[in-house]
Amino acid sequence: MSDLFEAPVSETQAQNDYSASSIEVLEGLEPVRTRPGMYIGGTDSTALHHLFKEIIDNSMDEAVAGFADKIWVTLHKDGALTVRDNGRGIPVDAHPKYKDKSALEVILTTLHSGGKFSNNAYKTSGGLHGVGISVVNALSEYLNVEVYRDGRVYKQNFARGKCLGPVEDTGEMRNKKGTQVTFMPDAEIFGIHKFTAKKLYDVTRSKAYLFSGVTIYWKDETATEEAETPKEDKFHYPEGLRDFVKSVIGQRLCLTKDLFSGKADLVIEGRDEGSVEWTVAWPYAEDGQQTSYCNTVPTPQGGTHENGLRGALTKAVRAYAEMRGQKKADKLSAEDILGGAHLVVSVFVRNPQFQGQTKDKLTNPEVQRWVENAIRDHFDHWLVADKESADALMTRAFERQDERTRRRKEQDVRRKTATSRKIRLPGKLADCSDQSASDTEIFIVEGDSAGGSAKQARDRKTQAILPLKGKILNVASATKDKMLANQEVKDLTQALGCGLGKDCNPDDLRYERVVIMTDADVDGAHIATLIMTFFFEQMPQVLQKGAVYLAMPPLYKLELNNGDSEYALDDAEKDKLLNTKKFKGKNVTVSRFKGLGEMPAAQLKATTMDKSKRRLMQIRIDSLADAKDIVGRLMGKNPEERLNFIKERAGTAVSLDL
Ligand code: 1YM
């Protein structure tokens, strides 16, 4: 861990550090209660547990910044939750701009104020990643805060986001510092959902794995004898991620004698940019998983930190294989080397940037290079130090490479025979010119005019375009005969070439990726849903393979007078961009795209189709059974089921564009 995290700052300095004058107009909490989905992604059990993460992230931020080393988590009998840390305590002094209010009250009752007060650059909660403590306050039936600061105890109580009185100095308490928050999620918002001990326990433990400088005390007052998780526990992992991976990999047989793990400071041109910690294991069963974190927050979609680790490992194994005289060393791919490996990487960086509304992918481009450079040397040494393990890794990588080449050849032959046999392809399909499926994609677009733009915008070599007419048949509610007779379904099936229903063989797919590209409006979303339903019902293997994607065309263009412009995917992104330095306070022309057909080809290319610039969303099925249930209810024949589903989830809807 770098000095930055450990260097203690004196208490007086810390108190004066947050800059009150930087406060701008702050929003109240009403929007949070009216549209909770916008802030915590819904009102279901996942959203409920999000409240806990927000609070513990505050304590973790304080620990990572070097001010706290203990956190206590207690689940109470009545369903309330208490989190306490021994950090500096949330500031309680009167706020210059809000003379009658304490900083504590402003932080708890206004949106996004945390980030503005704070000068902690590594902060993930309150503004940068998480939504902050005020959102938890808004969604709690009650929330009570105790701050232990300057040898005194301060208390303030809230109900549904409103404070019940001013912060009170309740007397002296020497030898105690920190913040304690107790809250009860509001049943008006979360209905029957309650905290699950196991979920809280797992999140709590993972935080301790991710930062070895903290000890977390767990207490569950609801625990019974048979409970899955203990009544009390203490988490402290001096070996961090290494301990974590050891606990999941357990006694399973691995390809290498030891795990590959380490820690490094990211010092770039003398500047301390943070740190990285990683652990990699290669289980024989090839059933490993890849997980990554930034500032202790999970990034399930990976991102630049994960790419950095993969890059370092790939390059090091290639170099090692080359040194061992292997001719095909430079052809080894990351998947050859890392497929099935168990990989965990955790970074601490300033100003992390996350992608999209779900914010589950790290996008700071510089992080990739930093992480790759930091790990590369370590892995080179690790390989040379244990030749037996290095050879085992190399041998398996070449086996996977052979297997990959064999499969590709098979696929190429299939495609060639298909083309030479001149299988019937739909007349509307503008096929790509590459003969093999590898690295090709088919864009399924809505309507002929969008099809026209897409044809102009595409890369002819690797991108095919299939325009479909309007709304395709809802295959979840149609009869089989009706489906087979439907022209759009026929076109789609012919173009994809992999067969339908029980004849579907995903290896025969004529393209590597299938991209559904519809307008960024309600109709577009409906059409995309229908096409996804088709895949789900008729080609689930293609979805499971991860070959289906959604294109993400922008809804807005923001342009400055000097011609400089940016695109925004949705309202949230537009508003965010308008608040950045680039646009704030300037004369900005905001235009809204009506549909893909209206977008000039060059723009469609730059924003949505060009492989180097666009963003795609991969459609993933985690559980086939869950997905079947949802699709069945939502797209099936029974309208009552559909209504019930919508009623249950109404609170989850994030943004409706009607
Ligand atoms: C159980 C939850 O919230 N702890 C906590 C929060 C803060 C501080 C310390 C803190 C941060 C800073 C300065 C800073 C917060 N401070 C703010 C704000 N535990 C919990 N512990 N002094 C104290 O980041 O500069 C928001 S949260 F806005 F004051 F900085």
Q: What is the pLDDT of residue 407?
A: 85
Task: Identify whether residues 256 and 378 lie together within a single domain.
Answer: yes
CA–CA distance, 264 with 283 (Å, rounded to integer): 25
Q: What is the pLDDT of residue 200?
A: 97
Distance (Å) from CA 205 to ligand 1 centroid: 22
pLDDT class of 438 with cuts at 50, 70, 90:
confident
pLDDT class of 646 with cuts at 50, 70, 90:
low
Of the candidates 338, 210, 334, the residue with the CA atom closest to the CA atom of residue 277 = 210
The reply to whether ligand 1 has any atom less than 6 angstroms from the CB of 596 is no
Q: Kindly state the percentage of the chain with pLDDT values over 90.
A: 53
Task: Identify whether residues 487 and 634 lie together within a single domain.
Answer: yes
Task: Identify whether residues 522 and 625 lie together within a single domain.
Answer: yes
Domain count, the chain: 3
Domain of 122, CATH number, reads 3.30.565.10
- Whether 37 is in a domain gets the answer yes
- Whether 577 is in a domain gets the answer no
The SS3 call for residue 592 is strand
- Write out pLDDT tens, residues 492-540: 999 999 888 888 899 889 999 999 999 888 888 888 888 888 898 889 8
Last residue of a domain, one of 178, 200, 235: 235
- Whether 415 is in a domain gets the answer no
Mean local confidence (pLDDT), 386-408: 93
- Whether 22 is in a domain gets the answer no
Range with the poorest average pLDDT among 407-421, 482-496, 608-622: 407-421
Q: Which helix (H) or strand (E) holds 205?
A: helix 197-210
Task: Identify whether residues 229 and 279 lie together within a single domain.
Answer: no
Is 220 among the residues known to form the active site? no
Q: Any residues with CB less than 8 A from the CB of 539 and at least 6 apart, and which? A: 496, 498, 500, 504, 506
Atom from ligand 1 closest to the CA of residue 125: 27
Q: Are residues 547 and 509 in contact, defined by beta-carbon separation less than 8 angstroms?
A: yes
Q: What is the pLDDT of residue 114?
A: 56
pLDDT at 12 over 60: no
Pocket-testing residue among 57, 117, 148, 181, ligand 1, by greatest number of atoms within 8 A of Cβ: 117
pLDDT class of 482 with cuts at 50, 70, 90:
confident
Tokens of 398: 């070449």
Q: What is the pLDDT of residue 124?
A: 57
Last residue of a domain, one of 203, 235, 267: 235
Range with the poorest average pLDDT among 154-163, 270-279, 555-564, 626-635: 626-635
Task: Identify whether residues 229 and 265 lie together within a single domain.
Answer: no
Distance (Å) from CA 492 to ligand 1 centroid: 55
- Whether 591 is in a domain gets the answer no
- Whether 503 is in a domain gets the answer yes
Task: Return the higher-pLDDT residue of 419 and 69.
Answer: 69
Last residue of a domain, one of 215, 235, 255: 235
- Whether 538 is in a domain gets the answer yes
Domain that holds residue 300: 242-398
Task: Identify whether residues 273 and 150 lie together within a single domain.
Answer: no
- The mean of the pLDDT values for the chain is 85
Q: How far is CA 387 from CA 257, 328, 331, in A?
A: 10, 19, 21
The reply to whether ligand 1 has any atom less than 6 angstroms from the CB of 346 is no
Domain of 335, CATH number, reads 3.30.230.10
The reply to whether ligand 1 has any atom less than 6 angstroms from the CB of 107 is yes
Q: What is the 3-state secondary structure (H, E, C) of 310-362?
A: HHHHHHHHHHHHHHCCCCCHHHCCHHHHHCCCEEEEEEEECCCCECCCCCCCE
Task: Identify whether residues 125 and 169 lie together within a single domain.
Answer: yes
